[in-house]
Amino acid sequence: MILIRFFGKKIGILFLSLFLVASLTFLLLKIIPGDPFAQEQAVPEEILKSMYKHYGLDKPWYEQYVNYLKEIITWNLGPSFKYEGRTVNEIIKEGFPVSLTLGAEALFLSLSVGISLGSIAALYRSRWQDHVCMVIAVLGISIPNFILASFLQYIFAMKLSILPVARWGSFAQSILPAVSLAALPTAFIARLTRANMVEVLEQDYILTAKAKGLSTTKTLFKHVLKNSMLTVITYLAPLCSAILTGSFVVEKIFGIPGLGGWFVTSITNRDYTVIMGVTMFYSTILMTSVFIVDLIYYFLDPRIKLVYENGRDEHPS
């Protein structure tokens, strides 16, 4: 019963969030001056009117809004205004696998390197290893990914000729963009891991385990890491958001034919259907990732069950 209450509340928040995103996206596109065909030069007024009618832009805004919601519910996102013969569903199907591959590589790097740096910093607190790891983390937070991407291209592609400078198709071409995309979340994960591990290492049960002769390795993996990962798991949803939205810029720099490139181009072209479709697609992924993380957190943190047993919906402090 507790799980059903928790599950129902999160599902409700998920759909409400998606509805608000859809409504806000539609409203903003209508408020901003101009339209998808404003840049067309020397087009007769009759042809423009025909184009507006063909795409339904001649209808009142509330009818367009209702049709837009119907398209989202049926996931038939309509044709692109600028790419003749292409639908938004086809654009997503073509571009997202590339973005997903790049995002998966960046996510793997972020988690593996971030947790490793944070663990080393915590185990060697106040020593030179700790300082080195935290300096790396500060650099990862301070340097924007587009600056890092250009720097990596200059050093590893242009000067050393170790890796390709751009494009997509091989694993070697994915290394530099994945590193550029993973730098910021890696730094955050390293700092989170270090802070949590330092706190856990000072707990009485850890001191008791050490006093009983439990090896450092067993103590680390059986007790410390397990209890330090709750905050990192909570960060997974914002991490997915950072990687997906950050990929827009990185994909453009490296000439990667991912969904981010389509999205940036659609904004420039005022391609309404592509903007709204890609926004809702990414929003659905991000909201679903938040929902999955909440479920994982529910099973890992017994305090949440206690909160729902007591009839309160606040997240435990």
CATH number of domain containing 137: 1.10.3720.10
Quick check: is 288 in a domain?
A: no
Quick check: is 35 in a domain?
A: no
Quick check: is 14 in a domain?
A: no
Quick check: is 85 in a domain?
A: no
- Look up the domain containing 195 and give its range: 98-272
Quick check: is 283 in a domain?
A: no
User: Residue 246 above 70 pLDDT?
Assistant: no
What sign does the CA torsion over 145, 150, 154, 160 have? positive
**pLDDT score at 317:** 41
User: Residue 47 above 60 pLDDT?
Assistant: yes
pTM of the model: 0.77
Confidence of residue 240 (pLDDT cuts 50, 70, 90): confident
**pLDDT score at 316:** 44
**pLDDT score at 2:** 64
Quick check: is 168 in a domain?
A: yes
Residues of the chain with pLDDT > 90: what percent?
8
pLDDT tens digits, residue range 170-221?
A: 889 889 999 999 888 898 889 888 888 888 777 777 777 767 776 666 677 6
172 contact partners, CB below 8 Å, separation of at least 6: 163, 164
Cα–Cα distance, 176 to 149 (Å, whole number): 7
Nearest CA to 26 out of 234, 312, 310, 279 is that of 279
**pLDDT score at 308:** 52
What sign does the CA torsion over 279, 78, 64, 262 have? positive
User: Residue 40 above 80 pLDDT?
Assistant: no
Confidence of residue 307 (pLDDT cuts 50, 70, 90): low
- Relative orientation angle of helices 225-234 and 171-201, to the nearest 10 degrees: 120
Q: What does the mean pLDDT of the chain come to?
A: 81
Number of structural domains (the chain) is 1
Cα–Cα distance, 63 to 65 (Å, whole number): 5
Quick check: is 190 in a domain?
A: yes
Higher local confidence (pLDDT), 223 or 19: 19
φ, ψ (nearest 5 deg) of residue 79: -85, 155
Q: Residue range 69-85: average pLDDT?
A: 85
Higher local confidence (pLDDT), 208 or 22: 22
Any idea how long the chain is? 317
Quick check: is 5 in a domain?
A: no
User: Residue 156 above 50 pLDDT?
Assistant: yes
Higher local confidence (pLDDT), 217 or 67: 67
293 in Cβ contact with 237 (< 8 Å)? yes
